[in-house]
Structure 1
Amino acid sequence: MKPEEIQQIVSAQRAYFASGKTLPVDRRIAALNQLKDAIVRHEDEIEQALHADLGKSRMESYMCEIGMVYSELTYMTRHVRQYAREQRVRTPLAQSVSRSYVKPSPYGITLIMSPWNYPFMLTLDPLVDALAAGNTAVVKPSAYSPHTSEVLRDILTECFSPEYVAVVTGGREENACLLNEHFDFIFFTGSQAVGREVMRRAAEHLTPVALELGGKSPCVMDKTAKINLAARRIVFGKFLNCGQTCVAPDYIYCDAAIRDELISAIRREIKRQFGADALSNDNYGKIINRTHFDRISGLISQEKVVCGGRTDAGSLRVEPTVLCPADWDDPAMQEEIFGPVLPVLTYDRLEDALDEINAHPHPLAFYLFTEDKKTARHVTETCAFGGGCINDTIIHLATTNMGFGGVGASGMGAYHGKAGFDAFSHHKSIVDKKTWLDLPMRYQPYTRLYEKLVRVFMR
């Protein structure tokens, strides 16, 4: 798409938003219902596109993408009236004879830039929140998942006029053109490197941003953990979508005393969940492209492979792989893996492990397996991370009742449910002062009596 076409889209959306047509709550609900109906009509095409881009099975496409969008749509249509209402707050005595309230208001023209790993869900979930809050949106899906991007374009073009919701496809050139424009809010999901560029470009217009990034999310296990159950849940969370999940456990940090038992349990679980030959399992999926396949393959230190380790360049598949003993100097520990490679590190003292984790950039997710409530409380209080689970993995993002987001290097801002509505809203603080009474003490000339009254009112 040419720069002038993008400029026309933004200009048209600014005029459309200024018309006030996005503001009525009934209009917002109608838009969400339109979108839901279109998804229902195109479900088969969505599943086919996800399979073509990432090899996702029908079950995984629904469980991790389509169903998640349905959940967000259902939640928002039920709650948007409540969230859009003015919220009355207490008025201090010094400002008496007033009504104080907070008014949620849409930012205006929003830009949603989504990644390739969950290309359907990570495009439409934030769009649902943006529309519920009363904004217009320009949606930019990833060029790395072209089949899903095409279906998204078809669905959104069918539902909305471009002055309300527009889809811009393409690659880096289109991304650069979009970031040249003045948006009122930018929502970006992707890598830390691109997130820095988005934030830098947004700063030129003082545009607020939400950044959903990533990082090396640890999975800590102490001696009290139920090893077999932990292995089952770790294998599910790590190798879902071939490890191409921003909140996948990036590595295990376990007590040295349980390492061997844990490795054995993980081996069994990989075989149970993916079969004796995961590379031939039709439900396993594939790496998005050759560039990422080569990068992930290069992170496998063959001398440390205790499970898996095979690759197939033709099908872009990497076998579920476990590396042990791993250490912080390994190639797999130098970057976010974002693939089906799981290093296992050990500790002798839990505090040493937590100190090491806290010495690194804050992760997007943190997972702890323990049966000790005191340990769980201590770890969640002392470690900085976006969100996480105790005795499970990744499921904390699959709820509309909690916000999802990062902290520090793993992102800023949160969305899903109420947090998503708030992310795409500015909350105006307003005092409605009545005119039938005007207390004189704030006006000059000041007197001793007025000073005494002010001191009473403002205690």
Structure 2
Amino acid sequence: MARKVKRPTANPGSLGTACQLDGKPANPYAGTLKRLRDAFDSGRTRPAEFRIAQLQALSRFLKENRKLILDTLKKDMGKPAVEADVSEIVLCESEIKLALNNLHTWMKDEKVEKNLATQLDSAFIRKEPYGVALIIAPWNYPLNLLLVPLVGAIAAGNCVILKPSEISKNMEKVVAEVLPRYLDKNCFAIVVGGPQEATALLKNKFDYIFFTGSSRVGRIVMTAASKHLTPITLELGGKNPCYVDDDCDPQNVANRVAWFRFFNAGQTCVAPDFLLCSRETQERLLPALQRAVTQFYGKDPQHSPDLGRIISEKHFHRLRGLLGSGRVALGGQWDEQERYMAPTVLVGVQETDPVMQEEIFGPILPIVNVQSLDEAVAFINKREKPLALYAFSNNAKVVNEVLERTHSGNFGGNDGFMYMTLMSLPFGGVGLSGMGDYHGKFTFDTFSQRRGCLLRSPRLEMINQLRYPPYSPRHQRLLVWLVDHKLGFPCSIL
């Protein structure tokens, strides 16, 4: 079973500062890392049978603790059962099923094309685990964003240290206390705690780091990884634009935008952070958005069982401060005691307003007016490349033009983040919104080193005589010809 690693007693600090015990620098996770590295070096995680057993155990964790997980997500964020089930449990289960059904195929050596000089040899790519990986997850989807990377790391044959978010404190407790009952304790460990513990962890050498969170902390993680030249995946956030063309059905757009903007109370990294549309389209959208919100959450959304809550007082106060940007056209109500914020739409928003300076991560939707598609594209392209970008139009040419003329980690035409349900698509950011991708086989690839291999016969030395000195023009011509040409049929000899 995986082992829970308790928090060390450390002086206050933050990511990027040293963690100390009794006034002296210490490494409270050295023993845990040694245990996992010894297990990896022993070859324990390499057989397909071991990987399958751990994936099956992870599946049992989800099935046997489904009610506990749903109750815990409700306790942390007021997350409705449907949203929690679909976005947390079901997506994790789908990842596990895909890995179990395809693991043997994914693990197979990949044969490659050869030139004439190597036609008698065996050339292939072997997918090897990196070793001991660190997965750091955020609080907004505390199970999904922890376990989906874990599925790929297990499938690829790695040992893993998991660092769940301390902000979603109840889910952190479930992960730390329940998940270790299902996983091999020599190959997997869970570290709980906040910035101090994360700082102490990052001072260690890992073979791979997978981080999901803010760009600010992503820079800190990348700096720590660079000290050991550790490969890294960063799944970050950003301000995701959503362009709405004049040629659209305003109610259809409103229904779709409202659902994926206010899903999980807006605390979703791929949710649209602002709408771009003409003033005329804005006037058509506002009553449609009002109808959508009323249909989804009733006349008083505060009492709707289908609208979540803000994760913490700190985030609640930050969001409340953003309500001063532009003018509230819809919603705007809040209740600090419940950490409730109504689905809110802001109009008259300027590019310089606070709400346009940071990722919102809450149920607030600003509308910025543009007069044309060209102006919208220019507005998008002068900002950092977003994690996601959306375009709505009845005209497919408009959607395709937005796709062709912009850059983003992911793109959705006439809908929101349904692409997240497709494990056949890679998910990841670009530029400030991240690097690397995952989901489905892409996660397996992320946690696998592609090792190039060439196996030659110890015999037939006479074939090699051409490459040895003393060189001659004739040998040079033959060598160039052998290296530069390929045969249309495979041949290998070991």
TM-score normalised by length of structure 1: 0.98
Change (3 A) 1:303 1:442: closer
| Residue of 416, 428, 449 corresponding to 1:393 | 416
Q: How does 1:71-110 map to 2 (within 5 A)?
A: 71-110=94-133
SS state at 1:144 partner = coil
**Amino acid in the other structure paired with 1:156:** L
Q: Give the whole-Å Cα distance in 1 for the aligned partners of 2:259 and 2:229.
A: 41
Q: Given the alignment of the two structures, is residue 135 of structure 1 paired with residue 165 of structure 2, yes or no?
A: no
* Residue aligning to 1:418: 441
* Residue aligning to 2:234: 211
Q: Give the whole-Å Cα distance in 2 for the aligned partners of 1:80 and 1:111.
A: 22
Q: Given the alignment of the two structures, is residue 284 of structure 1 paired with residue 307 of structure 2, yes or no?
A: yes
SS state at 2:124 partner = strand
| Residue of 409, 412, 434 corresponding to 2:432 | 409
**Amino acid in the other structure paired with 1:456:** W
- Alpha-carbon shift at residue 5 of structure 1 (Å): 4.0
Q: Give the whole-Å Cα distance in 2 for the aligned partners of 1:168 and 1:8.
A: 13
**Amino acid in the other structure paired with 1:37:** R
Q: Give the whole-Å Cα distance in 1 for the aligned partners of 2:57 and 2:423.
A: 20
| Residue of 37, 46, 57 corresponding to 1:14 | 37
* Residue aligning to 2:251: 228
SS state at 1:110 partner = strand
- CA offset digits 1:1-56 (Å, max 9, x no partner): 22554111111000000010100011101110011112211111111110111111
Q: How does 1:238-253 map to 2 (within 5 A)?
A: 238-253=261-276
Instruction: Judge conservation of contact 2:326–2:350 (CA < 8 Å) in 1.
Output: no
- Using the TM superposition, name which of 262-271 and 312-321 deviates more: 262-271
- Alpha-carbon shift at residue 356 of structure 1 (Å): 1.4
Q: Given the alignment of the two structures, is residue 371 of structure 1 paired with residue 375 of structure 2, yes or no?
A: no
Q: Given the alignment of the two structures, is residue 448 of structure 1 paired with residue 473 of structure 2, yes or no?
A: yes
Q: Given the alignment of the two structures, is residue 24 of structure 1 paired with residue 47 of structure 2, yes or no?
A: yes
SS state at 1:378 partner = helix
- CA offset digits 1:255-294 (Å, max 9, x no partner): 3332210122111101111111111212211000000000
Instruction: Judge conservation of contact 1:39–1:155 (CA < 8 Å) in 2.
Output: no
Instruction: Judge conservation of contact 1:358–1:384 (CA < 8 Å) in 2.
Output: yes
Structure 2 residue ranges without an equivalent (≥5) = 1-6, 9-25, 486-494
**Amino acid in the other structure paired with 1:279:** Q
Q: Give the whole-Å Cα distance in 2 for the aligned partners of 1:133 and 1:178.
A: 22
Q: Give the whole-Å Cα distance in 2 for the aligned partners of 1:211 and 1:126.
A: 12
- Alpha-carbon shift at residue 98 of structure 1 (Å): 1.3
- Alpha-carbon shift at residue 419 of structure 1 (Å): 0.5
- Alpha-carbon shift at residue 373 of structure 1 (Å): 2.6
- CA offset digits 1:386-426 (Å, max 9, x no partner): 00210000111222111110000000011111110000010
SS state at 2:253 partner = helix
Q: Give the whole-Å Cα distance in 2 for the aligned partners of 1:404 and 1:214.
A: 12
Instruction: Judge conservation of contact 1:301–1:323 (CA < 8 Å) in 2.
Output: no
Q: Give the whole-Å Cα distance in 2 for the aligned partners of 1:182 and 1:364.
A: 28
* Residue aligning to 1:293: 316
- CA offset digits 1:209-242 (Å, max 9, x no partner): 1000000001111122232111111001100011
**Amino acid in the other structure paired with 2:87:** C
**Amino acid in the other structure paired with 2:480:** R
**Amino acid in the other structure paired with 1:134:** G
- Alpha-carbon shift at residue 436 of structure 1 (Å): 3.4
SS state at 1:23 partner = coil
**Amino acid in the other structure paired with 1:62:** D
Q: How does 1:423-442 map to 2 (within 5 A)?
A: 423-437=446-460, 438-442=463-467
- Alpha-carbon shift at residue 124 of structure 1 (Å): 0.7
SS state at 1:440 partner = helix
SS state at 1:291 partner = helix
SS state at 1:36 partner = helix
SS state at 2:53 partner = helix
Count the aligned residue pairs.
459
Q: Give the whole-Å Cα distance in 2 for the aligned partners of 1:204 and 1:456.
A: 44
**Amino acid in the other structure paired with 2:281:** I
- Using the TM superposition, name which of 174-183 and 38-47 deviates more: 38-47
| Residue of 305, 328, 333 corresponding to 1:310 | 333
* Residue aligning to 2:281: 258
- CA offset digits 1:122-167 (Å, max 9, x no partner): 1111111100110010000011011111111233210123321111
Q: Give the whole-Å Cα distance in 1 for the aligned partners of 2:478 and 2:142.
A: 61
- CA offset digits 1:425-457 (Å, max 9, x no partner): 100011112233323222211112212223323
Percent identical: 37
Instruction: Judge conservation of contact 1:287–1:318 (CA < 8 Å) in 2.
Output: yes
SS state at 1:403 partner = coil
SS state at 1:404 partner = coil
- Using the TM superposition, name which of 63-72 and 346-355 deviates more: 346-355
| Residue of 179, 185, 198 corresponding to 1:156 | 179
- The alignment's C-alpha RMSD in Å is 1.3
SS state at 1:456 partner = helix
Instruction: Judge conservation of contact 1:156–1:166 (CA < 8 Å) in 2.
Output: no
* Residue aligning to 2:147: 124
Q: Give the whole-Å Cα distance in 2 for the aligned partners of 1:268 and 1:315.
A: 25
Q: Give the whole-Å Cα distance in 2 for the aligned partners of 1:98 and 1:342.
A: 60
Q: Give the whole-Å Cα distance in 2 for the aligned partners of 1:21 and 1:346.
A: 58
Q: Given the alignment of the two structures, is residue 175 of structure 1 paired with residue 175 of structure 2, yes or no?
A: no
TM-score normalised by length of structure 2: 0.91
